[in-house]
Chains A and B, each alone.
Chain A
Amino acid sequence: MDDYGSEDVMGFQAVSRRFGSTEILKDLTLSISDGAFTAILGPSGCGKSTTLRLMAGLDQPTEGSVTMFGRDVSEKRPAERNIAMVFQSYALYPHLSVAENIALPLLMRETSAFQRLPLISKFSTSSRSKRAGIFERVKAIAEMLDLGDLLHRKPGQLSGGQQQRVAVGRALVRDPTLFLLDEPLSNLDAKLRIQMRSELSALHRRTGRAFVYVTHDQTEAMGMADRILLMLDGRVIQDGTPRSLYEQPQNTKVAGFIGGHSMNFLVLQRGATSAGGLFAGLGLSCSDPSMEMTLGIRPEHLDLDPDGPLYGKVEHVEYLGGETMIELLLDRQIGLETGSKLRALVSSARVPFGLGDAINLGCKPELVHVFESGSGERIRTGIEKAA
């Protein structure tokens, strides 16, 4: 794990969270660096939402500690942490207008309970001048988010995209040190989602604050984040830039999760490294021939090559427009288990064959991932790749 020092806006130290006997988070240690756009990516049920709730202070860890700028904040409530949160369902107050929705956090922070009493709030001058100041800021935020004309509407009268903007405005207005976003785009239609993606990125650049963005959608995480924490089963299984997650998956789970098309895994038999086998054919060599290995190759990295080391019969063809996905039943060869299958994404222009035809596929050695069969971990040493 990288060392981010005390510049971390948020950190978890050995955090566990259990609900009854089910352990949602297991000994989680992580850090969120200030100013960065961090995505927490994972399938549903992996514990990413629980992680976000712990960051917000809406929930407390069973064990371990949560820190902000190196200080323990376990005892602090959400409002005392100066964070903002945007919810999947937006969680706007249906009975309040857009302006009141955005103003509420400020009213709560900057006026006393006395000044908020129903009658006092109307007649006390101190309360009125404070309110006027707050509504000036609300107006400015609303203008920035293109909500200027909607200030007096109720959330029920707004479109999904507008509601989303109000939710963002409510988060923005109090100038928080950390933005937490819980699947904020999943209720929008595809077109709006892409638009809001660039708007959120722009917002991140403009505020310069740390964003933590929880999502199950890897294209969102890959496209927006500086850094991704990939979670599975209550653990962070890889932490890095989007590029490193794609290019250097640390194990078969990461490799299988990341990428538009799922990675091919070829389980090799013992002794598969000997000459004449598939392993050597792909341009790889290994210093420890006793190792049991699994090869990972992404469909988009395979290409038609008459001399390629992977060959077999076409079993299935899926036309996807510019590209075509073909499924190959590999022929027997040294090191390969019988019945191994391979999916390859090739340019549609290069598909002159049909079902049952025999073809050869090749792949550059540096694009082949090698994992240990038992643990699924990436093998870093002892593998040589021909340039």
Chain B
Amino acid sequence: MRQGILIRVASTIALLLGAALVLLPFFWMISISLKPPDEIFTRHVSLLPDRIAWENYAIAVTSVPLGRFLMNGVIVCSGILFFQMLFSVPCAYALAQRQFKARVVIFGMVLAGLLVPFHVTAIPIFLGLAKLRLLDSYTALILPFATSVFGIFLFRQFFARMPKSLFDAARVDGLSEGAIVWRIALPLSWPAATAFAIFSVTAHWNDLFWPLIATSDPAIATPPRGILYFRDEEAGTDLGPLMAGAMIITAPLILLFLFAQRTFIRGVATGGLRG
């Protein structure tokens, strides 16, 4: 019993220390984002600001179009999610609940597609978009992700477990196959849909690789791309506002995580299967 308590105390202290280390960058980011310049550039260690400089946030929002970046993030993420659902869900339904010759071939393509990271296809897609004169547009940011093999895979697994008779009943009731997809299959796979949505949105909100390649116009920069514009501009030497900007662009996902922890963790963990 004594040993048990000792272990509890020791492990709790270790876990608290670990958590403190993990949270340290967040803490420092917040701390700097609230410090006036003279407190940032100081020789002695000060964890917390003496005077809270809210103006850093005002400077961040006014010196670069942070609101615009956030809106771009919302447009790009929701556009991607919309098309991914529009294409993946019907395909997954056909693969799971319909009999047709090409089914095996298409499912084979899905499994093979899971092997290919986006980075591999970046060069040809860039060349194609350049040819179509579509670079530097929302289209360039959304189109390459219009379908998700992982989404097809995830939904197919879900649909395949649903009873066949449910879909037969819907056919007898007069639903077209399209209506079955959107009115029956999708509402019934809500857990898969939320997990997939969270996986997709976090992946594309946080992505830097493709926005860095496909866009050079700050007007359509996504949040991570935007914050780098901020840093690389003159204003970027203003560390308080820079950290305030970093806080602002990461806040949406952190808030989403804190309010929907279970769903969020499941979504991100599910996405891990895709690697």
Structural contact, B174 and A91, CB atoms closer than 8 A:
no
Determine which of A79, A89, A94, A95 lies in contact with B172 in the assembled complex, contact meaning CB atoms within 8 Å. A79
Structural contact, B163 and A85, CB atoms closer than 8 A:
no
Interface size class of B (residues with CB under 8 A): 10 to 19
Determine which of A92, A95, A108 lies in contact with B174 in the assembled complex, contact meaning CB atoms within 8 Å. A108
Structural contact, A58 and B184, CB atoms closer than 8 A:
no
Structural contact, A108 and B179, CB atoms closer than 8 A:
yes
> Would you call A170 an interface residue if the criterion is a C-beta within 8 Å of the partner chain's C-beta atoms?
yes
Interface size class of A (residues with CB under 8 A): 20 to 34
Structural contact, B169 and A87, CB atoms closer than 8 A:
yes
Structural contact, B184 and A93, CB atoms closer than 8 A:
yes
Structural contact, A83 and B172, CB atoms closer than 8 A:
yes
Q: Give the residues from 134 to 171 in chain B that come closer than 8 angstroms, CB to CB, to chain A.
A: 163, 165-166, 168-171
Q: In the complex, which residues of chain B have a beta carbon less than 8 angstroms from the beta carbon of A109?
A: 174
A95-B188, A108-B179 given as contacts; is B165 within 8 A of A170 (CB)?
no
Structural contact, A105 and B188, CB atoms closer than 8 A:
no
> Would you call A104 an interface residue if the criterion is a C-beta within 8 Å of the partner chain's C-beta atoms?
yes
A93-B184, A95-B187 given as contacts; is B174 within 8 A of A105 (CB)?
yes
Structural contact, A88 and B173, CB atoms closer than 8 A:
no
Instruction: Tally the A-B contacts, defined by beta carbons under 8 Å.
Output: 54
Q: In the complex, which residues of chain B have a beta carbon less than 8 angstroms from the beta carbon of A94?
A: 188
A91 and B171 CA atoms in complex are apart in Å by 12
Interface residues of chain A: helix, strand, loop or mixed (majority): mixed
> Would you call B94 an interface residue if the criterion is a C-beta within 8 Å of the partner chain's C-beta atoms?
no
> Would you call A77 an interface residue if the criterion is a C-beta within 8 Å of the partner chain's C-beta atoms?
yes
> Would you call B175 an interface residue if the criterion is a C-beta within 8 Å of the partner chain's C-beta atoms?
yes
Q: In the complex, which residues of chain A have a beta carbon less than 8 angstroms from the beta carbon of B175?
A: 79, 104, 108
> Would you call A84 an interface residue if the criterion is a C-beta within 8 Å of the partner chain's C-beta atoms?
yes
Nearest 6 A-B pairs (CB), nearest first? Answer: A79-B174, A108-B174, A91-B169, A105-B173, A91-B165, A87-B165
Query: Please, could you name 29 A-B residue pairs with CB atoms under 8 Å apart, sorted by A?
Result: A56-B168, A58-B168, A77-B171, A79-B172, A79-B173, A79-B175, A85-B169, A85-B172, A87-B165, A87-B169, A88-B165, A89-B163, A89-B165, A91-B163, A91-B166, A91-B168, A93-B166, A93-B170, A93-B188, A104-B170, A104-B173, A104-B175, A105-B173, A105-B174, A108-B173, A108-B174, A108-B179, A109-B174, A170-B169
Mark A residues whose CB is within 8 Å of B: 53, 56, 58, 77-79, 83-85, 87-89, 91-95, 104-105, 108-109, 170
